[in-house]
Structure 1
């Protein structure tokens, strides 16, 4: 048994197709991204676009009614959307990893049930798994369980069709992954997400009050088997693509603003800001760094396809190689996007700081999401492995 339905690599035209789909959705989102960010409302209409476009079902194997795409296509879609709307890109990125838990934690017999239902309903999967907030407990109740507790930072749960939940089983030294539909009795969405950026990512808290969990709702145990734990590097690779997309979007917007400026600085001897050597130098530096971030991210998108395709043959050493490689991509994209989103103001001038311009959206989004987990610990993973061969303990962050 392969333990994976993603046994092939992308066909030559697969990226071209899904890139085009994502670009169309991104263009629709871009039209009012700033106004929607300011309104800070639940992104219902935006998520409908993900469903209608096919992006929500891209990663579901074709035999179950999905788009039959590979991981690199899904990750590229996240990047493309992040150029226009990083909040919606975040929801999509998390969705891919959440519904892939059908495979990572579930037995093969469960795949048809959950993937088919997801494809038919064009479900979006939110999550309630935040590992630094482990206050969810499953208590045995007949053949099933009762779920109780509070979980913060539950991205996409309040807007998703179903939520992936990870909770400790009372009296047992294990954590189980289960699926809970949005409207199940006892699930309370607190709508308390109010952050500097990523405002439409639906990342508020969820409280579970004596929620009934049937045996069939449980996917399986969250353990440390090498293949199943690829989910965490997958999440981190989604972050890298998200950050790269934000950097790319900031550069595009900065170019528009620079070309739209009148004249040149009074001490310059050129006729327009776009011909000022200092302006050109900043763009050149930021473009080069973004290109480097793109190269390492594309490399690990492809390597992740290959690792996933190996299924049960993935070894602990394989998993460590993927972890370290993706950690490198996470470091580079984090620092590149933060620098780009900050320094584009240097070349767009004081007028670009006006609220209605919206250049701040890129900085607010990248500054907010890069706080998800400390990038210094990614540097530690990479440096320790290089010097001593050490590999960090497997967690939902490493």
Structure 2
């Protein structure tokens, strides 16, 4: 596995490579097979998934070059990490070994609104149903599938391999942003799963205060922490490209009496304000990562109160990063000028990506959690999104 310093250096290089042709790839709107291959060749897929500080930093840096690919990479780390939370230790270990040896890319079907069922057939399982949103699944080598046992009502997670019979990917991802995440729906028709490929099961009525349940509940916080880093990465990328555009292409407004846009005090102050906002969001995102890493390190000793505090820290970061992303990616046009709205500039992609990601789950519920904690002292309930 890469050491942290090497991973950060590599992430910066990959981000720059993605930035170079981001606009062309976006307009082509093809499945991100080439981008996944770039991640393979860079070695970033093999970063230690338990090193949250490094994986989150890598996710943010790559997202600055291309938010879709940063999103895919962040989820890849998340799924490899969560594999060790379930019952099948041998499968979790072999998955990590295979990822390192073969540079495999991992994705998952885990939306709580999915209707995927697993039925016992012979000595294995048959999985059928449909997932509404399955980020990266169309280009994944290994696929984690959350399903409900048809005979017991229990939830389980199984692992399917690329090319498994019965899996199809309808071409229905046509959203405003994050267009290269291959996040369309996925369908399963009698997909055979061997017993050795069942990561784990847990009953739907398990006590939420039990150590095992609290540990598993960290998965929902992991998604929020990763998305927070992607949002901050979008802001970093937007500011960097907007600044370059202003330096190289923006024209001063005639009333300013200046020869260069970079000498306009209004533009200078505008960028300065956005830089300060970015730094605040980045600090909060780092705090969220630290809170998540500490909760994960507690293992089965994690308490409900500790889990709740980690959730509040991550919710605060998600609120600020979401608002920062939509604000900055819009305001950059005030500083770059009307010509920057040309399709060829590609600056619109940052706003479209931010607007799409910030709708992943309603921000108002994160704010409600924080307000409830302030006024009543209660920690937020455990949900699929917090």
The TM-score by the shorter chain falls in which range? over 0.9
d(CA) in 2 for partners of 1:82 and 1:298? 15
Matched residue, 2:151: 171
- CA shift for structure 1 position 263: 4.7
CA contact (8 A) 1:177 1:222 kept: no
The number of residue pairs the alignment matches comes to 377
d(CA) in 2 for partners of 1:171 and 1:395? 24
Matched residue, 1:105: 86
- CA shift for structure 1 position 310: 2.1
- CA shift for structure 1 position 222: 4.9
d(CA) in 2 for partners of 1:232 and 1:172? 24
- CA shift for structure 1 position 343: 0.4
Higher helix share: 2
d(CA) in 2 for partners of 1:262 and 1:31? 20
- CA shift for structure 1 position 262: 5.5
Q: Report runs of 4+ in structure 1 exceeding 4 Å deviation.
A: none
Matched residue, 1:182: 162
Matching residue within 217, 230, 246 for 2:218: 230
CA contact (8 A) 1:198 1:364 kept: yes
List gaps (5 residues or longer) in structure 2: none
- TM-score of the aligned structures, taking structure 1 as reference length: 0.91
**Does 2:236 correspond to 1:252?**
no
Change in 2 beyond 3 A, CA 1:241/1:315: same
- CA shift for structure 1 position 240: 0.6
- 3-state DSSP of counterpart to 1:335: helix
d(CA) in 2 for partners of 1:40 and 1:216? 37
Matched residue, 1:198: 178
d(CA) in 2 for partners of 1:17 and 1:80? 13
Change in 2 beyond 3 A, CA 1:159/1:361: same
- 3-state DSSP of counterpart to 2:144: strand
- TM-score of the aligned structures, taking structure 2 as reference length: 0.94
- CA shift for structure 1 position 382: 1.4
Matched residue, 2:307: 319
Alignment of 1:1-398 (within 5 A): 15-60=4-49, 70-131=51-112, 133-222=113-202, 224=208, 225-261=213-249, 263-398=251-386
Change in 2 beyond 3 A, CA 1:161/1:263: closer
d(CA) in 2 for partners of 1:40 and 1:20? 28
List gaps (5 residues or longer) in structure 1: 1-12, 61-68
1:12-37 superposed Cα distances (whole Å, 9 cap, x missing partner): x9543321010011111111111001
d(CA) in 1 for partners of 2:54 and 2:180? 23
CA RMSD of aligned residues (A): 1.7
CA contact (8 A) 1:14 1:73 kept: no
1:155-193 superposed Cα distances (whole Å, 9 cap, x missing partner): 111000011110111132321111111211111111211
- CA shift for structure 1 position 226: 1.2
CA contact (8 A) 1:104 1:229 kept: no
